[in-house]
A and B are shown apart, each in its own frame.
Chain A
Amino acid sequence: MAEFAANPLTVTLTAPGEPYYRADLEFHGVDHSKASFEGRLFLNNPDAGPGTPTDDDSYAGSFWIFGHGGCAGDEGHCEPAAERRAFDFRPEYQLTAVSKRVMITGKLQALVQQEKSVRLTGWVEDIRPFVARGSICIVPLRIGGGTRLKIFEAMAMSKAVVSTSLGAEGLPVQADENILLADTPNDFAESVVSLLRDPSERKRLGASARALVQEKYSWPKVAESFARTLQDVLTRPTPPATPG
């Protein structure tokens, strides 16, 4: 069975003025001439793909196409005899694309309810599920210090990162190569929006970020570097004792 991911579809929704009891997403011009398939819908999840499970929060439903299976048959079936066989009563017809409708009422209502742009989770046992659900990671740091490990954690998870220069201070990152750096609110917002609109760039940045972490900061690499430092300390000549 083949799997593929369609390009994300931008749908602009205008909140209705009155309460609604049903919301459908309609697809028109769906081709049913080839193999049968299931079309799965994920809302507000541009990274959704064939492997995204249907118990993901963003899953909104499916439509199913029972297809004509393309071309199949004995040799010469694509070149039927000029004359139709006498017992073939089937009328001629042309396949027309179909329309499909998926009810997304519950999911849409949930999305509208979640219009808050910032959600505070409080303490979590493991940040990885939260990082994994995000399309990108942002570090809008304007003051403060620290070892910036959270950027490395996000990079290790192949996430594209947008940070201020201060946020990435001391890290051997390269702007536009494995991270986006922006220091003004406008530049920061533009970087975030551009990444949200460009899945291939997010993927490239994320892959490059992970490659950096794997090359320099994986456990084996860090252990090796630490061992070398310890060895260096051990082999250094002991300074003479100070008389006194």
Chain B
Amino acid sequence: MQLEDLHNQVHVWVGGTMSEIPLAAFDPVFWAHHTMIDRLWALWQLAHPGVGVGSVPLNHPLGPFPTLTVAHTLSTTALGYDYAAATSSATPA
């Protein structure tokens, strides 16, 4: 299963405002959900070092932040944060 599909599935499963792109971020659970998706992505990167991201437009700007592109968001540590399981030998929850 692709991570995007897992992400989509939770949005649709929760339903309500979470099931519509323009409104989903108004639901508090959106933030917990996306944190988990981001964490899964970080854990996958740790498990597959050096593996590329396929045909993703790395230079695509991320509005409304014109100085940020997709490439800038690939590393959590470059953005100034990390996940506990990523830096310790503890088993991820």
Query: Are B22 and A37 neighbours in the complex by a CB distance under 8 Å?
Result: no
Starting from the known contacts A65-B8, A66-B21, A68-B20, 14 additional A-B residue pairs (CB-CB under 8 Å) come to A35-B20, A36-B12, A38-B9, A64-B5, A64-B8, A64-B9, A64-B12, A66-B19, A68-B22, A72-B22, A89-B63, A90-B63, A90-B64, A91-B64
Chain A residues near B2 (CB-CB < 8 A): 101
Query: Are A67 and B20 neighbours in the complex by a CB distance under 8 Å?
Result: yes
How many chain A residues sit at the interface, stated as a range, is 10 to 19
- Closest Cβ of chain B: how far from A25's Cβ, in Å? 13
Count A-B pairs with CB separation below 8 Å: 49
A64 and B21 alpha carbons, distance in the complex (Å): 13
Query: Are A69 and B19 neighbours in the complex by a CB distance under 8 Å?
Result: yes
Query: Are B23 and A36 neighbours in the complex by a CB distance under 8 Å?
Result: no
How many chain B residues sit at the interface, stated as a range, is 10 to 19
- Closest Cβ of chain B: how far from A64's Cβ, in Å? 4
A36 and B8 alpha carbons, distance in the complex (Å): 9
Produce 1/0 per residue, A114-132, CB < 8 A to B. Answer: 0000000000000000000
A36 and B14 alpha carbons, distance in the complex (Å): 11
Chain A residues near B9 (CB-CB < 8 A): 38, 64
Chain B residues numbered 26-48 whose CB sits less than 8 Å from any CB in chain A = none
A6 and B13 alpha carbons, distance in the complex (Å): 21
Query: Are B12 and A37 neighbours in the complex by a CB distance under 8 Å?
Result: yes
- Closest Cβ of chain B: how far from A6's Cβ, in Å? 17
Query: Are B20 and A36 neighbours in the complex by a CB distance under 8 Å?
Result: yes
Query: Are A69 and B12 neighbours in the complex by a CB distance under 8 Å?
Result: no
B72 within 8 A of A: no
A235 and B64 alpha carbons, distance in the complex (Å): 94
A38 and B10 alpha carbons, distance in the complex (Å): 11
Query: Are A63 and B21 neighbours in the complex by a CB distance under 8 Å?
Result: no
Produce 1/0 per residue, B46-83, CB < 8 A to A. Answer: 00000000000000010110000000000000000000
